[in-house]
Structure 1
Amino acid sequence: MSSSVKLRYAYFPGCVAQGACRELYQSTQVLTETLGIELVELKKASCCGSGTFKEDSQLLEDTVNARNLALAEELNLPLLTHCSTCQGVIGRVDERLKDYQNSDPAYLEKVNQLLQKESCTPYKGATEVKHLLWALVADYGLAEIERRVTRKLSGLKCAAFYGCYLLRAQHQLIYDDPHQPESMENVFRALGATPVYYRGRTQCCGWPISSYATNESFQMAGNHIEEAIAAGADCMVTPCPLCHLNLDSRQPEISKFLGRSFNLPVLHLPQIIAIALGISPQALGLDNHIVSTTPVLEKIMNN
């Protein structure tokens, strides 16, 4: 990033980060302010539906998220999210509607008529959807992040958990390989940490089936946690609050169900970066996690 360029985004925080994972909202704000990235929050935005709207109606999912995209278009800014699920849902809607501009303009007109009926700005296909991870890697730059590091995470072994929506919900993923991603591992390296590779890092966390197949969801999440621990991870890092809910908030239940004690700390992506920038754990909400992050902090502080 050129020092003369000010990065600005239309910020879509999503509902989970403003509720169950408030520490993600908190740490994203602190990190972006520290890096000089301006977030213009879309306070009128609505929940993306997390993939459930289309089970009832594809038109519903498209219209709700066309409105979210139009809010960013009004600002002439890219829409930034810090949730893998939001990225996958809104990014896929944007991708689909842009295709429909040529292949099915009548459908797009139907979407815009519904928006107009509610006095909403029509969707034009004039923005892009970008996860915080992509914004940091592609726009801000890993070299600049590394330059800003004041507390190297030497000796800390981090296991990325990408979440399936971030990697494979869209047909085109221009920032990484959807099957063999390296973006998060490259972030860890820039912070001085050691990436840990394990089979489940690109798989589903199990959250989408947790409401009706709880045991299977616990088994999926438990497998990932167990594999990360076996690979030597000190912590797991995820760019998705829904993955965080299943891997951190439900980890005690998962441990009980599987009859094994895990206690693997799970951090949000902006938290691990902000720690390396010298920001205090309290400012990042690291004391709000279900699985204590103390072992991670002790390892960092003792380096």
Structure 2
Amino acid sequence: MPSPTLRYAYFPGCVARGACQELYQSTAALTQALGIELLELKKAACCGSGTYKEDSQLLEDTVNARNIALAESLDLPLLTHCSTCQGVLGHVDERLKEARENNPAYLEEVNRFLVKEDCAPYRGSSEVKHILWALIGDYGLEALQERVTRRLEGLKCAAFYGCYLLRAQKSIPFDNPFQPESMENVFRAVGATPVYYRGRTQCCGWPLSSYAAAESFTMAGGHLQEALEAGADCLVTPCPLCHLNLDSRQPEVEKVIGRSLGLPVLHLPQLVALALGVPPRELGLERHVVSTKPVLEKLGIIDN
């Protein structure tokens, strides 16, 4: 059994505190159900979503060194539930740990900025860990399975990994970046059936959406169609930005591709929390643009 006192410095990121508040809500419900303690880093800054480095690599490294240093000051690993945050923070952490060994002058430059802001210097003593990795590596799939009170039997779930979780870092724990199985293993642990399709490890199209909406929505539509054709009842993603393009913009996607879709898209914590018996009303499922009622109906869940 896992330790009952798993503790993390929690980096919720921007989107879960704004457009995807249901992710923040369901992460709280899931971790509470599992007995995991989160210490939210309320002084943390946006990771930049990969945009800071377009202006300055030093800017991206300094902002995120500060975020990681906040976790280090608590002597805790940094936990995120956003693949984009994981990719940016994890890659910065890798780069600065390499600099500590091979380019200490650069790390000193980064830390000088942190000291100016009365922040502790980055030491490289913490880990950046997506909640998916925490469930698998720290809590454990066997222990998770033992906590399931509502097995998701008959629910066909299609994982949508996206880009950052698999490819932003030089190495990722508990998975193969080219043939991932971590999310599918979580599905099996909670009783759901994994559905495989070609686009599950590809980009959702979000980075294009601000300047090439038609291309972005065509990309998203292709993934949604493939998942539907493979028999999926829902798509499950570990990234709120992917969720925005695949759920919130699904009506726009339908117009671009000229086809009705109606595929529910769940955040990973929502799916797992459902299996732990958390009521849907505590998971923000009503906030989704595409109704999640078909998922609940298939599972025989009535939420009063």
Q: TM-score with structure 1 length normalisation?
A: 0.98
**3-state secondary structure, aligned to 1:159:** strand
Partner of 1:268: 267
Runs (4+) off by over 3 Å: none
User: Between the two proteins, what is the percent identity of the paired residues?
Assistant: 73
Q: Give secondary structure in 2 for the equivalent of 1:75.
A: coil
**For 2:123 and 2:149, how far apart are their aligned partners in 1?**
43
- Structure-1 residue corresponding to 2:76: 77
Displacement of 1:119: 1.4
- Structure 1 residue 5 displacement after superposition: 4.5
Unaligned runs of 5+ in 1: none
Match of 2:233 in 1: 234
Superposed counterparts of 1:122-161, under 5 Å = 122-161=121-160
Amino acid paired to 1:190: A
Task: Report deviation, 1:174.
Answer: 2.3
Query: What is the Cα deviation at residue 264 of structure 1?
Result: 0.1
The answer for unaligned runs of 5 or more in structure 2 is: none
Deviation at 1:69, TM superposition (A): 0.3
Aligned residue identity for 2:284: G
- Determine the C-alpha separation between the residues in 2 that align with 1:83 and 1:94: 16
State the partner residue of 1:107: 106
In 2, Cα distance between the equivalents of 1:266 and 1:222? 13
2 CA distance for matches of 1:302 and 1:216? 37
- Residue 158 of structure 1 aligns to a residue whose secondary structure is strand
| CA–CA separation in structure 2 for the residues paired with 1:268 and 1:39 | 18
Q: Deviations over 1:43-78 (max 9, x none)?
A: 000000000000010000000000000000000000
Corresponding position of 1:301:
300
Report the alpha carbon displacement of residue 102 of structure 1 after superposing the two structures with TM.
Answer: 1.3
The 5-angstrom pairing of residues 5-154 of structure 1 reads: 5-154=4-153
Contact kept? 2:4, 2:35, Cα under 8 Å? no
**Mapping 1:142-291, distance limit 5 Å:** 142-291=141-290
- Distance (Å, rounded) in 2 between the aligned partners of 1:94 and 1:138: 19
RMSD over equivalenced CA pairs, Å: 1.1
Tell me the alpha carbon deviations over residues 127-153 of structure 1, each in whole angstroms, 9 at most, x when there is no partner. 010000000011101111111111111
Cα deviation digits, residues 2-57 of structure 1 (max 9, x gap): 3x541000000000000000000000001000100000000000000000000010
- The answer on whether the counterparts of 2:133 and 2:173 sit within 8 Å (CA) in structure 1 is no
Superposition TM-score, scaled by structure 2 size: 0.98
Q: Deviations over 1:61-101 (max 9, x none)?
A: 00000000000000000000000000000000000000000
- Which amino acid counterpart does residue 165 of structure 2 have in structure 1? L
Whole-angstrom distance in 1 between the partners of 2:229 and 2:127:
38
What CA distance in whole angstroms lies between the structure 2 residues aligned with 1:174 and 1:186? Answer: 14
Q: Residues of 1 paired with 2:186 and 2:47: CA distance?
A: 27
| Whole-angstrom distance in 1 between the partners of 2:144 and 2:4 | 15
Residue 302 (structure 1) shift: 6.7
For residue 238 of structure 1, report the CA deviation from its aligned partner. Answer: 0.3
